[in-house]
Amino acid sequence: MPRDPRFDPLFAPLQIGPVTAPNRFYQVPHCTGMGYTMPQTLAAMRAVKAEGGWGTVCTEYCSIHPTSDDHPSPFASLWDQGDVANLAVLVEGVHRHGSLCGVELWHGGLRSANLLSRQTPIGPNSLPADKAPLQARRMDLADIRDYRRAHRAAALRAKEAGADLVYVYASHTYLLSQFLDPRINRSIPGYSGTIENRSRIIRELIDETKAAVGDALAVAIRIEVDAEATPRADPDGERRAVFELLKDGPDLFDVTITDYSQEMGVSRFIKEASLEPMIAHVRGIVQKPVVSVGRFTSPETMLSQVKRGVVDLIGAARPSIADPFLPKKIAEGRSDDIRECIGCNICYASDVQGVPLRCTQNPTMGEEWRRDWHPDRMPPAQKRERVLVVGAGPAGLEAALTLAQRGHPVTLAEARRDLGGRVTLESKLPGLSEWARVRDYRQHQLSKFDSVEIFRESHLSAADVRELAPRHVLLATGSHWRPDATGHHFPGGNPELDRAITLTPDDLLVGKRPATKSDPVIVFDDDHYLMAAVLAEQLAQEGYAVTYVTTAGVVGFWSRFTMEQARSQARLIEVGVRIVVSHAVEAVRGGQATLSCVFSGKRHDLPCGAFVPVTSREPNEALWHDLQSDPAASSAAGIASIQRIGDCKAPGLIAHAVYDGHRTARRIDGDQAVAEDLPPEDLLGEPPFRRDRVVIPTLP
């Protein structure tokens, strides 16, 4: 379909200093969990973004010097010619599709503990680094001179690699933010004190970078509109003065805010375009192009931002991860096909944990090189044969869609009336409505295939499966929360629980509630992600007196990886939930719960009228066992393979289920359905993906 001309402003080229962005889709710097250690993985991923129409594709934070080493977090680097060579390959991949490539030159300052390089951290003050009990060396004028030289050298390396744009990175609490912060920067002559002094280093870097590479490369700045010391302060405060001082310097202003949990907020707390009220004034101060972010997935919102002059370019990290082809889909009049980011931050969690990006919506993210997966092109099936998918949750829907895209005829059977499985239920919990996009995208795509039959309210038995006589069967029957608190703390379950007053998360999700509003509810979290916190929030909002008990030290311990832990805990405090950390629920009897401290074992009792264990899930594998029990009957029915996928195999995140459904569907071909998890014939073979690592030719 042709593009809707209303969206033409999003496709207008834009001059940025000496270069021209081909359109307004700007992939802002974002980490990948790949960094300099996985250059092939990284280059292939960025090239796919460019292919998908992102007119500008930036690197992640790219260290300029070994005094800025973020190990074990995987950062990019431009320390030497090896880095130049790898960046050049990445740039070439981006250029191949006509896009610009930007490099975010980064120095972490006192935050970088330099665990690998073992260089002494440097900063405007001697304060503790992030990842070690080690303080930075206070910078003097000689250090500032050396830092400026290192920045210039890195800019020249970016130019040598063919990049089109380099950043002076003055946000996110790294070195240049530390210079701007009067609480940190207190004693360097000429660089401390007034805002003119504290921003001096930034102005010097902009001038020097322009002098070094500005003939060919645009020089951008990433900077916050508020200050770390005074977050959310009036835009007419000190930061306005900084923008006034800088306004004629950089070729592009990439503006954001100091609250990272809003800038990169989860959809549970932060909705699309949330930065607008805070950043909208910048374009009135600076006469240069402005880009900002806001988890933009709606073409209408993007258009509105550009037309109203809020920004010139639509900045995106997560929307470009969830759908690398978002711009192309708008360009081709296929906005309905956009795979919208759900704002779960599983991408960020993988990066923080040091592994290549994983995305709930886009199972191909991070697999572009190592598995040759493309987000929009599936390998056609060599032999098209009917596949039965039992269960239309995230794994089943993704498998059905991938199979259909590959040309297989698909029968999808779902026990409930609604498709979506767990996402349909979980998206009704407070703040999680956008999670339904996992279902909606796939359901919409499936509706385009005549080769897909969907049967709702169809609870299939083993006999039903055989009667349907598909060639392959994928079981995606999900899982259910365990009522006996089996999990990390009680691997064998807890027999001391009063089952009569136990409500599992599944009970609550289908609307069951404690007998009376006056029943004090205990939610026991040994799962450590967000389910327990969200249920506690919901019950408290409905008027129940809720105590949240966790074996961990904070609410939703694992959700620190998704950047929502602090907001999650604050929300429970706001809605009046009592929080008890580092305790397990040992027994629930006679209206009392006995709690024990996970460190000392010391016990105390709390009143308990209803008990909600959120600990672990039991795979729904009855159908699998029934089918396994009579392989001859399945063969006689013409079934070549039966596999479990998603939660019914191994309960996990929605991202795990989607990935498993996708991966399995890619491996079904003709009579073959190659299982990947320890297939016996592969035990002595190669891993099922390429590995991005150096192979040493000889002993050095």
Residue 302 dihedral angles phi and psi, to the nearest 5°: -60, -45
Nearest to ligand FMN of 329, 472 (CB atom)? 329
CB atoms under 10 Å from CB of 631, counted, come to 11
The residue with tokens 């592994």 is 355
CA 508 – CA 538 distance, rounded (Å): 10
Binding status of residue 61 toward ligand FMN by CB under 6 A: yes
Which of ligand SF4, ligand FMN, none has residue 360 at its interface (CB below 5 to 8 Å by kind)? ligand SF4
Question: Does residue 562 bind ligand FMN (CB under 6 A)?
Answer: no
Binding of ligand SF4 by 431 (CB under 6 A): no
Q: Smaller CB distance to ligand FMN: residue 356 or 505?
A: 356
Q: Is 111 among the residues that bind ligand FMN (CB under 6 A)?
A: no
Shortest Cβ 342–ligand FMN spacing (Å): 12
Look at strands 479-481 and 617-619 and give their pairing.
Answer: antiparallel
d(CA 338, CA 299): 10
Q: Which of 86, 125, 178, 361 binds ligand SF4 (CB under 6 A)?
A: 361
Name which of 355, 385, 392, 361 is nearest 375 in CA terms: 361
Q: Site residues for ligand FMN, window 206-225 (CB under 6 A)? A: 222
C-beta of 29 vs 52, nearer to ligand FMN: 29
Q: Tokens for 248?
A: 């004629």
Region of 29-37, 538-546, 597-605, 652-660 interacting with ligand FMN (CB under 6 A): 29-37
Min dist CB 655 to ligand FMN, Å, is: 13
Among positions 321, 326, 476, 508, the unique one binding ligand SF4 when judged by CB under 6 A: 321
Q: Min. distance of Cβ 619 from ligand FMN in angstroms?
A: 30
Q: Is 529 a catalytic residue?
A: no
User: Quick one: 130 exposed, middle or buried, by C-beta within 10 A (0-12, 13-18, 19+)?
Assistant: middle
* 263 is an interface residue for ligand FMN by CB under 6 A: yes
Instruction: Among 31, 286, 341, 401, indicate the residue that binds ligand SF4 (CB under 6 A).
Output: 341
Is 166 a binder of ligand FMN (CB under 6 A)?
no
Give me the 280-309 binding string for ligand FMN, x by CB under 6 A, dash otherwise: -------------xxx--------------
Nearest to 276 by CA among 229, 322, 315: 315
> Binding partner of residue 256 among ligand FMN, ligand SF4, none, CB under 5 to 8 Å per kind?
ligand FMN
61 binds, among ligand FMN, ligand SF4, none (CB under 5 to 8 A by kind): ligand FMN
CB atoms within 10 A of CB 696: 7
- Among the listed residues 36, 61, 169, 174, the single catalytic one is 174
Query: Interacting stretch for ligand FMN, rule CB under 6 A, among 154-162, 223-231, 315-323, 614-622?
Result: 315-323
The number of helix segments (H) and strand segments (E) in the chain equals 24, 29
d(CA 189, CA 42): 41
Burial (Cβ within 10 Å: 0-12, 13-18, ≥19) of residue 558: middle
Residue 359 binds which one of ligand FMN, ligand SF4, none, with CB within 5 to 8 A depending on kind? Answer: ligand SF4
- Could you count the other beta carbons within 10 Å of the beta carbon of residue 27? 29
Residue 342 interacting partner from ligand SF4, ligand FMN, none (CB closer than 5 to 8 Å by kind): ligand SF4
Asked if residue 373 lies in contact with residue 415, where contact means CB atoms within 8 angstroms, the answer is: no
Residue ranges of E strands in 385-434 = 387-390, 410-413
Tell me if 532 sits within 8 A of 615, measured CB to CB. Answer: no
Burial class (CB in 10 A: 0-12, 13-18, 19+), 49: buried
CB 329 → ligand SF4: shortest distance, Å? 16
């249920």: which residue's tokens?
535
Q: Is residue 226 within the footprint of ligand FMN (CB under 6 A)?
A: no
Kindly state whether residue 326 participates in binding ligand SF4, applying the rule CB under 6 A. no
Tokens of 461: 């038995």
> Is 319 a binder of ligand FMN (CB under 6 A)?
yes
Residue with smaller CB distance to ligand SF4, 212 or 322: 322
Residue 315: beta bridge partners?
26
- 256 contributes a contact to ligand FMN by CB under 6 A: yes
Backbone angles phi, psi at 479, to 5 degrees: -150, 170
Reply yes or no: is the peptide bond before residue 72 cis, omega within 30 of 0: yes
Q: Which is nearer to ligand FMN, 152 or 172 (CB)?
A: 172
- The answer to whether 504 touches 497, Cβ cutoff 8 Å, is no
Residue for token digits 């629930």?
588
279-318: contacts with ligand SF4 (CB under 6 A): 318
Alpha carbons 259 and 251: distance in angstroms, whole number:
25
According to the binding rule CB under 6 A, does residue 52 interact with ligand SF4? no
Which lies closer to ligand FMN via its Cβ, residue 348 or residue 369? 348
Instruction: Enumerate binding residues for ligand SF4 (CB under 6 A).
Output: 318, 321-322, 341-347, 359-361
- Contact residues toward ligand FMN (CB under 6 A) are 28-31, 60-61, 104, 172, 222, 256, 263-264, 293-295, 316-319, 347-348, 351
- Residues marked active site are found at 174
